[in-house]
Amino acid sequence: MKKIALAFGLLGLTTFANAADALNGTVWQTIDDETKQPKAIVKFTEQKDGSLTASIQKYLVAGQENACSKCEGTYHNKPLKGVTIVHSLKNVGGTNYDNGSIIDPKNGKTYKLKAEMIEGGKKLKLRGYIGIAALGRNQTWIRVN
């Protein structure tokens, strides 16, 4: 009887440990590719299907926070705060993520997305691309504590 209770207890702990993804609830500072300066604060949220989205919590570049003029659909000409820039990102094992998409508010384009948490979770290395990952660009975000 004790063995059965222990087995169910361990199963419950395993289920609980897998319930929330490591990226869920984390906050990151994006870095501009050209200026290498902080650009925005972004927060990840796990969806009911287990995929992750990330929304802009604060835009850090003065004079550019007011409108997503090149974004299409819901976010067209809306303030950047609140824009969901990452969609459907899924954990594919350990610290690796794939099958997502990311919107670049600067040009309004959507790219396929893969990501990896590096340096013990202090940085998030993202790869946005069209077609194949080899034809894309990298960006590294820094975790905000």
Domain boundaries, the chain: 22-144
| Distance spanning both ends of the chain, measured CA to CA | 44
Residue 25's identity, in one-letter code, is G
Spatial CA neighbour of 115 closest among 103, 133, 132: 133
Q: Distance between CA atoms of 105 and 83, rounded to whole angstroms?
A: 9
Q: What digits encode the pLDDT tens for the residues 103-132? A: 988 888 899 999 999 999 999 999 999 988
How many percent of the chain have pLDDT more than 90?
57
Distance, in Å, from the CA atom of 83 to the CA atom of 71, rounded to the nearest integer, reads 10
55-85 pLDDT tens trace: 999 999 887 777 778 887 888 888 889 889 9
The rounded distance, in Å, linking the Cα atoms of 92 and 23 is: 13
DSSP 8-state symbol, 132:
S
CATH number of 22-144: 2.40.128.520
**Ramachandran bin of 50, using left for φ above 0, alpha for ψ from -120 to 50, beta for the remaining angles:** left
